Structure 1
Amino acid sequence: MRYQLELFLTALGFFTRLPVPAWVPWSADRLRHAARYLALVGWVVGLAGAAGYLAFSWLLPPALAIILSMALTVRITGAFHEDGFADTCDGLGGGWDKAQVLAIMKDSRIGSYGAIGVALLLLAKAAALLELAKTGTFGADGLPAGIVAALLVAHPLSRLAATSLVHLLPYARADGSGKSAPVAQRLTPAGLAIAGACGLLPLALLTPTEALAAVAATAAVTAWCARLFMRRLGGHTGDLLGATQQLAELACYAGLLAAPRLASLIAPAGA
């Protein structure tokens, strides 16, 4: 049990800027096994985002509360996944062949594709969350349960999407030079089960229709990413995993927004 706790704390220390105890050992092999807890790290980030939104919305309008809660999650993660999305936009947008794409993604400078891509992505997530704040349900205490549930579900589920690509696709950098290379190995069956449980359990916060819509949208975007990455690069990199997480998070919000219409389509006529 202590070993599993150490693996989770290793994942928390790698994928966020949150401090972890000094007694937690680190090695590339432990980091490889810690990938199973990426979705559980999403619980921490989602909880922070939801708590931040509730605190900010007590004093501020919903739109500003959403932006500040997003800024909080970006600060906690050190923009780890947003940086990967920006590098992916630059690489796939500006590179013609695999070697050029990988070289561009490794460059720490951001280009026009990356800047525009991140700006549009953040705007889209903010807009989706604002709509969820408007249309979401409210609990008996008056708290906006819809947006809170969305944050608690989307962060773990989107990280499970990225983890699935680690398991399904080969690593694209032959030299293993990427900073995420240690987590690029396929998960063991036990590790995959842990990752799946951590990513899917928060769906219990949703109605069946909402859960179905969220999973379907997330799976569709993940499958599209996998096809694109295999066609362009023959596998995944850390940047591509970050891009997958960001797009899957947005897809989850979009699925939740589409859930009411989906429910009306599948409801019996006259019900």
Structure 2
Amino acid sequence: MKKQWQLILTAIMFYTRLPVHVNMPHSEEALNKATRYLPLIGWLTAAIMTAVLLGFGEIAPRMVCILLALIAGIWVTGAFHEDGFADMCDGFGGGWTKERILEIMKDSRIGTFGMLGLLLLMTLKFTSLLSLPLDHVALAVFIAQPLSRFVAVTVIYTHSYARENEDSKAKPVSKGITLQDLLLAGIFGITPLIIAMIYLQNYTLLLIIPALVLARWYMVRMMSKWIGGYTGDCLGAVQQVSETVIYLCFCILTWKYT
């Protein structure tokens, strides 16, 4: 149990900017094993975003509350996943060979594709949530943060790391994960969706799953075709696209209940 707690703290240390003390060596093996708790990090992010939503709900307009919650989510992760999405947009938008795509994604500067992609993605997140009352926004966040991270974990399980020199942000997870890790991540990732369906008595929310499968299929197909696997940026992009798909689906599937 103590070792698992240390792995959770390692996951918090690696995937967020929250200060934690991990009483174990900072090894690649520990970081790789901590990937099983990536969806649990989504619970933490969702809790912080929900606290902002509810905290400002009585003193600020709904639009401001939602924007502040999105900012809080970006702050707690240090824009870790958003950066990956922007880099993937630049790489796949401007590169025509594996080498060139990987070179562009490694560049810390953001290009036109990355800027426009990130702007449109954040706009879609904001407008999808803006159509919901605050309690439904909290539920959407509660579902999206863990489940979108689980989708990224499934890519680690099913596909290979694309870079030959493991010098990027995905290095700790480049060796893949076990089936046991995947199942544990799945519990943390899918449970919020089940809870939300029972709470709302709206089982059409299950349609979020095929929507995510379709989005994942498209992104994985593109990654496999052009670079032969995933990178850290690709995982961040998968998380961001999945999160946005969940918000959009939640908006569509619950509008008549609001």
Fold conserved between structures, TM > 0.5: yes
Q: Secondary structure at the match of 1:132?
A: coil
User: 1:79 Cα shift?
Assistant: 0.2
- CA 199–259 in structure 1, closer or farther in 2 if over 3 Å, else same: same
2:56 corresponds to which residue?
56
Say whether the 8 Å CA contact 1:214–1:253 is kept in structure 2.
Answer: no
Q: Distance in 2 between matches of 1:38 and 1:106?
A: 23
Residues 201-248 of structure 1 deviation map (CA, whole Å, 9 limit, x = unaligned): 111232252430222222221121111111111100000000000000
Residues 36-57 of structure 1 deviation map (CA, whole Å, 9 limit, x = unaligned): 1100000000111111111122
Match of 1:165 among 155, 158, 170: 155
1:195 corresponds to which residue?
185
User: 1:261 Cα shift?
Assistant: 8.1
Between the aligned residues of both structures, percent identity stands at 39
Are 1:220 and 2:214 an aligned pair? yes
Q: Secondary structure at the match of 2:132?
A: helix
Consecutive aligned runs of 4 or more in structure 1 exceeding 3 Å deviation:
260-263
Q: Secondary structure at the match of 1:172?
A: coil
Are 1:175 and 2:165 an aligned pair? yes
Quick one: which amino acid aligns to residue 42 of structure 1? G
User: 1:67 Cα shift?
Assistant: 0.7
Quick one: which amino acid aligns to residue 151 of structure 1? V
Say whether the 8 Å CA contact 1:210–1:255 is kept in structure 2.
Answer: no
Aligned residues: 253
Are 1:204 and 2:194 an aligned pair? yes
TM-score, normalised by the number of residues in structure 1: 0.89
In terms of mean alpha carbon deviation, does 80-89 or 213-222 score higher? 213-222
Are 1:233 and 2:227 an aligned pair? yes
Question: Could you say which structure has the greater relative contact order, defined with CA pairs below 8 angstroms and 6 or more residues apart?
Answer: 2
Kindly report the root-mean-square deviation, in angstroms, between the aligned alpha carbons of the 2 structures: 1.6
Consecutive unaligned residues of structure 1, counting only runs of 5 or more, are 134-143, 264-271
1:83 corresponds to which residue?
83
Q: Distance in 2 between matches of 1:210 and 1:163?
A: 24
1:151 corresponds to which residue?
141
TM-score, normalised by the number of residues in structure 2: 0.94
Q: Secondary structure at the match of 2:131?
A: helix
Q: Distance in 2 between matches of 1:6 and 1:154?
A: 25
